[in-house]
Structure 1
Amino acid sequence: MNISKTLTSTFFSIAFATAIGAATYETAYAAANTTISTTSAAEQFQVGSMYVEKYANPQAKGAPVILIPGLSSGGYVWDETVKQLRAEHELYVITLAGFNGKPALPGAKLPKAKDSLLELIQTQKINQPILVGHSLGSALSIWFAESHSNLIRGVFAVDGLPVFPGTQNMTLEQRTAMAEAGRRQMASADAKTFSEQQLQYMRMIGLVDQAQAEKIAVRSATSDPVATADYMAELLMMDTRQDLPKISVPVALVSPYYATDFARMNMSEDAKSAYYMSFVQGIPKLNLVSIKDARHFVMLDQPTIFHEKLLSFINQL
C-alpha cells in the first residue's frame, strides 16, 4: 500500500467532503462534561478583517502572543489558552470577519487577513509576537512568516499546512475548479443545513470529546456560510511551499493523532507525522509536535499536553 497516497486521499476526501456535508461514515464516542470557558477581554477593537480581543497585564514579562482560530471559529477556541498565558503575556485573540457572528467583508479573504495581521502588529506596535494559529489560522501564520519573519519571533502552527492535503500535486487549474465547485455548494446552504454540516464536521473530524463537539458546532454555526465558503475555497487554492525557506524564525507544527480514525487506514502515528513533515520541508528551524488522543481541535481535546507543548515552545524562543 502507498501510505502517502492513501493518507493524502483520505485526508482530502474526509476533511473537504465533511465540510460541505458529504461525509457519511459512522463513529461513536463517549460524551464528556467539558464546558467552553468565557473570559472578559480588557480591550476590543477591529483592524481590517480582524476583530481583536486584547489582554494586557502590566506585570507580564513574556513575549506577546497573537492567537488566530481556524475556519468558521471565533476567539473562544483559545479561552483556555488565554487562561494559561495571560499572567505572563500580552495577548491578542483574533476572530476573522465572517466568523462567530462578525460581519463579513467583501473581496478576497486570506490576502486581507494577512494584510490585517501586518497592520495589527504595526499599528499596535507589538514587539515581535509569537503567532499561534489553528487550521486556517495556522496556514495564515506560516504564510505571514514567509514574508515577515523580521516582525515575529516564532510560529506555533496547529494542524494547518502551507498547502491543503490532497491538492499538493494538482495544477492551479485543477485546484481552482475544485475550490469553486466547493464554494458554490457550501455557500448555497441555508442556516439549518449549515448548522447540520457544522455539527457533523465537529462530531466526525473536529473533536473526540462529543460534548465539546456539540458546543463548538453551535458557535461555529453562527458564522456566515458564504464567507466560510470563500475562506475555504481560497485555502484550497493556496500553496506557499515555495517560500518556506524564507522563514527565519522557529516553527513548531502540531499534528494531532487519534488512533481510532487512522486504524481504518492502518496508519501509525509516525506515518502521520511523516506525512505532515512532507508539506513543510524547507523551513530551516522546524519541529513537529505530535499529540495523541486528539482530533483537529487538539487544544480542546488535550488541553493539558497542548499547553505544555506551547509553553515549552514559547520558553525556548
Structure 2
Amino acid sequence: MKKITFLFSAILFAQLAISQAPIQVEKSGEGNPILFLPGFTTPGSVWNETIENLNGTFETHTVSYAGFNGLVPIGTPWYAPIKDRLIEYVKEEKLTNLTVIGHSMGGNLATDLAAALGDHVTGLILVDALPCMRELMMPGVPASSLQYDSPYNNQMLDMPNDAFKNTALMMARNMTNQEDKVEMMAGWSIAADRKTYVYGYTDLLKLDLRPTLENIQIKTLILGATFPTREMCQQTFEKQYTNLTNKTISLADDSKHFIMFDQPEWLYSQINSYLTSNAQ
C-alpha cells in the first residue's frame, strides 16, 4: 500500500511540476535551430508569420511564458525561472549553431542566453528590445527601490476589469499602427494572470543587462522602431547598447513597438539577410 501511495504521489508531483513549467515550447521543422522569444504578455504565435517567411529550412523553437497565453502561473520571481529554464532547454535539446530572436522582453532573455550559453549561440537578433527599460522610463531610479508590494502594483491588482481593459487598449494603441491588431493585443493582457502581469513587469523594470552585453561577442542585429522619432530612437539604442561591440542597428520607418505588425516585410528582409550572412 505504501508503494502505491508513493507512486501516486510521485505521479501527482510530476504532473504539478509540468503544469507549472516556466515556459512552453512548440518545435517544428528541420535544419539549424532558431529560438523565437516573444515579448511580455505575448504568445509565441506572434512569430508565426515571421517563421512562414523565413528563407531556407530551419528547426524553430517558439516559446510562450507561464502566466500568459493560458499557461499556469509560477509566482515570483518570474523572469529568473524563465531565463534558467530556457538555458536548461537549450542544453537538453543539444541546440548548437543556434540563432536566438527576441522581441521586447524576449530580447532581454535572448541577451541573457547569448551571454550564458557561449558557443551554443552563434546568432542574435533583438527586435525593439532595450537592456535596461527602467533607465528609459524611470531615469535615475535604482532597481532596489522597486518592490512587488507597492502602491502602484496594488492599484493594478485591484483595478476593476473594465478599467484594466481600457488601460490595455490604450497601451496596445501605443504599440502598433495597425488598428485591427489592437483588440487582439489588449486581449493578451486581459487574459493574463493578473499577478504575473503586475509582478512580472516589476521584474522587467529591475533588469539592467547593460553590463552583460560585454560578454557577447557574436554578431548581433538590433532592429528598432522609429516611434516617436527616428533621431530619438537611434540615440536610445546607441546609448543602451554601448557595451555591445559587434552590432548593427537598423530602424524601421513608420513603426511602433510591434514591428512584425507595422513593417512585416521589412522585418522578414532584415532577419533573412542576417541569417544568410551569418550562416555557418
Task: Tell me the TM-score range normalised by the shorter chain.
Answer: 0.7 to 0.9
AA matched with 1:293: D
Find the aligned partners of 1:158 and 1:238 in 2 and give their Cα distance: 17
Q: How does 1:186-197 map to 2 (within 5 A)?
A: 186-197=156-167
Secondary structure of 1:127's aligned partner: coil
Larger Rg: 2
Contact 1:68/1:138 (CA < 8 Å) preserved in 2?
A: yes
Find the aligned partners of 2:55 and 2:241 in 1 and give their Cα distance: 30
Deviation at 1:118, TM superposition (A): 0.7
AA matched with 2:125: F
Number of matched pairs? 259
Contact 2:222/2:249 (CA < 8 Å) preserved in 1?
A: yes
The residue aligned with 1:302 is 263
Secondary structure of 1:227's aligned partner: helix
Contact 1:257/1:293 (CA < 8 Å) preserved in 2?
A: yes
The share of aligned pairs that are identical, in percent, is 22
Find the aligned partners of 2:266 and 2:167 in 1 and give their Cα distance: 29
Q: Report Cα offsets for 1:99-145 as digits up to 9, x if no partner.
A: 11111112311111111111111111212311111111111211222
Name which of 235, 244, 251 aligns with 1:274: 235
Name which of 66, 70, 73 aligns with 2:42: 73
Deviation at 1:181, TM superposition (A): 4.3
Deviation at 1:178, TM superposition (A): 9.3
Give the TM-score normalised by structure 1: 0.76
1:199 aligns to 2:169 (yes or no): yes
Secondary structure of 1:153's aligned partner: strand
CA gap 1:108/1:88 in 2 versus in 1, 3 angstroms: same
Deviation at 1:188, TM superposition (A): 2.7
Find the aligned partners of 2:149 and 2:234 in 1 and give their Cα distance: 26
Deviation at 1:309, TM superposition (A): 0.4
Deviation at 1:46, TM superposition (A): 8.2
1:55 aligns to 2:28 (yes or no): yes
Q: How does 1:134-283 map to 2 (within 5 A)?
A: 134-164=103-133, 165-167=136-138, 169-174=140-145, 176=146, 180-203=150-173, 205-258=174-227, 262=228, 267=229, 269-283=230-244
Structure 1 unmatched runs, 5+: 1-44
Name which of 239, 243, 247 aligns with 1:286: 247
Q: Report Cα offsets for 1:223-280 as digits up to 9, x if no partner.
A: 112101121101101112122111121211111014xxx3xxxx4x133212211001
Secondary structure of 1:157's aligned partner: strand
CA gap 1:279/1:248 in 2 versus in 1, 3 angstroms: same
Secondary structure of 1:150's aligned partner: helix
Contact 1:52/1:93 (CA < 8 Å) preserved in 2?
A: yes
CA gap 1:141/1:180 in 2 versus in 1, 3 angstroms: farther
Structure 2 unmatched runs, 5+: 1-17
Contact 1:189/1:225 (CA < 8 Å) preserved in 2?
A: no
Find the aligned partners of 2:140 and 2:148 in 1 and give their Cα distance: 13
Secondary structure of 2:53's aligned partner: helix
Contact 1:257/1:290 (CA < 8 Å) preserved in 2?
A: yes
CA gap 1:291/1:115 in 2 versus in 1, 3 angstroms: same
Q: Report Cα offsets for 1:130-175 as digits up to 9, x if no partner.
A: 111111111121122222232211211111111012345333334x
The residue aligned with 1:131 is 100
CA gap 1:290/1:115 in 2 versus in 1, 3 angstroms: same
Contact 2:224/2:251 (CA < 8 Å) preserved in 1?
A: yes
CA gap 1:111/1:191 in 2 versus in 1, 3 angstroms: same
Give the TM-score normalised by structure 2: 0.85
Deviation at 1:292, TM superposition (A): 0.8
